[in-house]
Structure formats: C-alpha cells, structure tokens
Structure 1
Amino acid sequence: MLKRAVPAEWLKLRHSHLWIVLIALPIVSVLMGCGNFYMNQGVLQNGWYSLWSQAGLFYGEFFLPVLIAICCAYLCRLEHSGKNWNMLLTAPIPVASIFWAKLFTAGMLTAFVQVVFVLLYIIGGTMVGLSLSELPGELYGWLVRGWLAAVTISSFQLLLSMRIRSFAVPVGIGLGAAFLGLGMYVAKAGLFFPHSLLTIGMGVLSPESLPPQQQLTVVIVNLFYIAAFSAGAIYRMRTADVSA
C-alpha cells in the first residue's frame, strides 16, 4: 500500500512553490556563511571547518528546522481542507501507510536539501579561496547524521501538523523548538531533545569528528525518537477524529 500512498504525496508537490523554498534557504545560508567567513578570515583561520561553522550555523540551527516544519505542514495542508482527512482515513489504505508515505516524502525532501547545501558549501568554499584537496573528511558524516536528525524532526512535525489544522502554528512551534534545542545543546543535554540532535549530528557548533561510540549513540537516539513520534502519530490517526 505504501507504493500507492507515496506517489499521491508527490502529486501534491508537483505544482507547488515549495521547491523554491527548498533551494532558496540553502543558498541564503551559504551566502551568509561565506560572507561572514570572507570578512573575518583573520579570526576564522581553520579553512573549511570555519566555513562549515559559519554556513552551518544559519542552516542547521534555524533554516533547516523551519524548512522541515514548512514541508510537513504542507504535506498535511490538503487533508485539513474540508473533510479530506475523513475521506482519506476511510480509503482502503492502512493508516500506517499514510503516515509512512508522508514521512518518506519529508525524508526525501530533506535529503535533497542536504545535498544542495553541501554542494553550495563546496562551491562557496572554492570561491573564497579554499582548496578542494583540503575538504573535511567529516563532511559525509555531517551530511548523513544531519539527514537522520532531519527525519527525526520530520516525524515530530508531522505529528503536530496532523493534529493542528493551522499551517502557521506547527511552523511556529518548530521555530521555538529550534531555539530550545540550541539551549539544550549549550546545557550539555542535547541527546534529550530532537532539534539538538541536528546540531550534534551536523557539527555546526563543534566541527570536530565525533568518536565512534558517540556517533552510535546519536543514531540510536534518533531512531528511538522516530519510532516514538511515528507510533504516536499512527495511534492518533487510528483512535481520534483528525479532522475535528
């Protein structure tokens, strides 16, 4: 059934303007990061790592969480129109497949944004004079762990967007959660909050490589949160009137 549900989610995006946002926010992040790096090279002397901290700070801490919230709210927007939730839930498709299709779609969108950001980061770095031969070896890990944390946040935002009819409220909650996640990270409690896992995984505030044991811990905690939020969303769809 998932094979039928996923194409339906992609159909919603075909003529939307969401793709503009998906490309624009990474561009803005890299432009701001490259600008800060170029004007402060006397202080930022760690090459690609310094550039990553500058571009990643805007992208990973604020833009990406908000972008995820927008994507998830958009994926639920049509269902909140009229009685579309009731129509969808009475269709011959398992409730779990509806949720997994939305999460899969959100995961593919965030993967696309991650790849765009990294490509722009590399292009921007070469334009400000950095050598490709000195690219950080941690880049692949930042990309993958950041994407996994993005899926975790997507499961959280889908739970909100399925419950709340308003488009703006889940996005506002996502922005507030991004600030809270930053505070949790600073307080050394990042593993206990989904948005902090994005900071840890992408290394935007600490670009050094994570020890293997900590990398495994980050993956396990992300999978736990994904399972918990997904179970909550599916249970809600099975037992409550989502359109009420």
Structure 2
Amino acid sequence: MLLRCIRAENRKLHASPIWILFFLLPTISAAYETINYLGNLDLLGVSWYALWTQHTLFYSLFFFPAMVAIYASYLWRLEHMGHNWNLILSAPVRPFALFFAKFVVVVKLVLLTQCFIFFLYCFCGKVFATLPGWPPAETFFFLMRGVLGGLSVVALQLVFSMLIRSFAVPVFIALFGGIVGIVSSSKGAGLYWPYSLMQYGMNSNRSEDMLAGNLLPFLLSCAFWLCLLFLLAAWLLNRRDVRS
C-alpha cells in the first residue's frame, strides 16, 4: 500500500507548476550569489571553494526551506479540499503511510534540486567566474551532507502543511525558520535547530569544515529531529476523526 501511495503522490507532479519554481528559485539563488562572489573577489579569493561558500549560504537558509515548503504545501493541497480527509481516514491504509509517501516524494525533489544546484555551481564557476579546473571532491560530499541536514526540514514542513490549510503560511514559517537559523548558527547552536542543519551539512560561508570533529553530533541531531517529527505526524494523524 505504501508503494501505491508513493505512486499516487508522484502523479501529482506530472505537468505540475512547481517545476517552474524548481528551476526558477535555484537559478535566482545562483545568480545572486555569483554576483556577490564576483563583487568580493579581493576578500574571498579566486577558488572553487570560495564560490561554494557563497553559492550555498542563502540557498541553504532561505531558498531551500522555501522550496521545501512549496513542495509540501502542494502535495497536501488536495487533502485540504472538500471532504478528502474523510476519504483518507476511511481508506484501507494507515494514515502515516500517506505522510511517509509525501516525505519520500519531497526527498526525491530535494535530491533533484541538489543536483540542479551543483550544476548551476559548476556552470557559474566555469562561465562567469572562469575558475580553472573543476570543483574539489569535498563539495560533492558537502552536497550529500546537505541532503541529510535537509531531511528534518522536509518532515517539519510536511507537518506544518498537514495542519495548515493555507498554501502560503508554511512558506512564511520556513523563511522565518531560516532567519532563526542564521541567529542560532552565529551563536554556535545550529545543531539544535532543524533549519540550520542544511547550512552545517553544506558547509556554507566557512573556510573550514563546520563539522570537523562534530560529524557524530550532526548525524545524531538529524536523526533526533527526523524521529521526533515522524512520531509527531503519526500521533496527529491518529487523533484525526472522520467528519460527517
């Protein structure tokens, strides 16, 4: 039944308008951050690593949470129409399977987004920054770490979109979470805030590895938030009643 739920969620993406945002938001992010990098070459230096720190800063704290919020709100919008919740709760499938199916589909979109971000990073580095060679292998490692850091944001935004019928409100919550993430990271408390974990994983705006010696606490924090949000989603879904 879970596979059927995943296939049903995937069908929602066919000819979906979110693909416009999928291409548009990362492109805007890459353009802004490339301009910022080129305007600060004297300070940042000419290197692939310096470009990476700029390319991932605003993306990890603002663009990524907003995109995940849009993905989550879009996948939940059908359930919020009419009496569709009644159909879900009376269907011969556990309600959490629906939540987990949406989680799998959003994670797939996140992986595609990360690949597109890496493509834009390479493209801007070669075409606009005219950097020699190719990006260091560490940047791909940071990219995969960023996916782990983003899983808690996916789960949290799915919970918000499940509870809030509005499409836009979860997006504003995601942006606010990114702002709080800046503050928590600057205070050295980013590992305790889910919206900061992507920044830590991507190693944004740092010349040294932010997780050097802290990889285990990072992984534990990712696992803690993910398990907590899964349990919360299951509890909330089990408390819902069919409405006449």
**C-alpha separation in 2, matches of 1:183 and 1:37:** 22
TM-score when normalising by structure 1:
0.94
Kindly state the Cα deviation for residue 207 of structure 1 after the two structures are TM-superposed. Answer: 4.4
Instruction: Confirm whether residue 131 of structure 1 aligns to residue 132 of structure 2.
Output: yes
The alpha-carbon distance between structure 1 residues 243 and 6, as it changes in their structure 2 partners (threshold 3 A), is farther
The CA deviation at 1:242 is 8.5
CA contact (8 A) 2:200 2:211 kept: no
Counterpart mapping for 1:60-209 below 5 A: 60-127=60-127, 128-133=129-134, 135-209=135-209
2:116 & 2:242 partners in 1: Cα distance?
Answer: 35
Partner of 1:218: 218
3-state DSSP of counterpart to 1:132:
coil
The C-alpha deviation readout for 1:52-101, integer Å capped at 9, x for no partner, is 12221221111111111111111101100011111112111122211110
Deviations 1:28-51 (A, max 9, x none): 111112112223222220511221
**Closer, same or farther: CA 201–156 of 1 in aligned 2, 3 Å:** same
Cα 1:105–1:119 shift into 2, 3 Å:
same
Partner amino acid, structure 2, of 1:237: L
Alpha-carbon spacing, 1:217–1:243, altered in 2? closer, same or farther (3 Å):
farther
Measure how far apart 1:111 and its partner are: 0.7
The gaps in structure 1 that reach 5 residues or longer are none
| Distance across 1 between alignment mates of 2:243 and 2:38 | 50
1:52/1:207 contact within 8 Å kept: no
**TM-score relative to the length of structure 2:** 0.94
> 1:61 is paired with a residue of what secondary structure?
helix
Amino acid corresponding to residue 202 of structure 1 in structure 2 = M
Partner deviation per Cα, 1:175-211 (whole Å, 9 max, x = no partner): 1111011111111111110011111111112242355
Q: Deviation per CA, 1:205-229: give whole Å up to 9, x if none.
A: 2242355641222122101111110
Preserved CA contact (<8 Å) 1:163 1:242: no
The one-letter amino acid of 1:169's match is V
TM-superposed deviation, 1:11: 1.0
Q: Paired residue for 1:8?
A: 8
Pairwise CA RMSD of aligned residues?
A: 1.7
Q: How far apart in 1 are the matches of 2:205 and 2:241?
A: 42
Distance, in Å, in 2 between the alignment partners of 1:239 and 1:207 is 47
The question of whether the paired residues in 2 share the 8 Å contact of 1:145 and 1:219 is answered with no
Distance 2:163 2:241 in 1: 9
Partner letter of residue 41 of structure 2?
Q
Aligned-residue identity in percent: 35
Is this contact kept in 2: 1:106–1:151, CA < 8 A?
A: no
Runs of 4+ residues over 2 Å off in structure 1: 207-213, 240-244
- Partner of 2:206, secondary structure, is coil
CA contact (8 A) 2:149 2:200 kept: no
Question: 1:26 is matched with which residue?
Answer: 26
The CA deviation string for residues 124-159 of structure 1, in whole angstroms up to 9 with x for no partner, is: 1011111224x2332122111111122210100111
- Separation (CA, whole Å) in 1 of partners of 2:160 and 2:19: 22
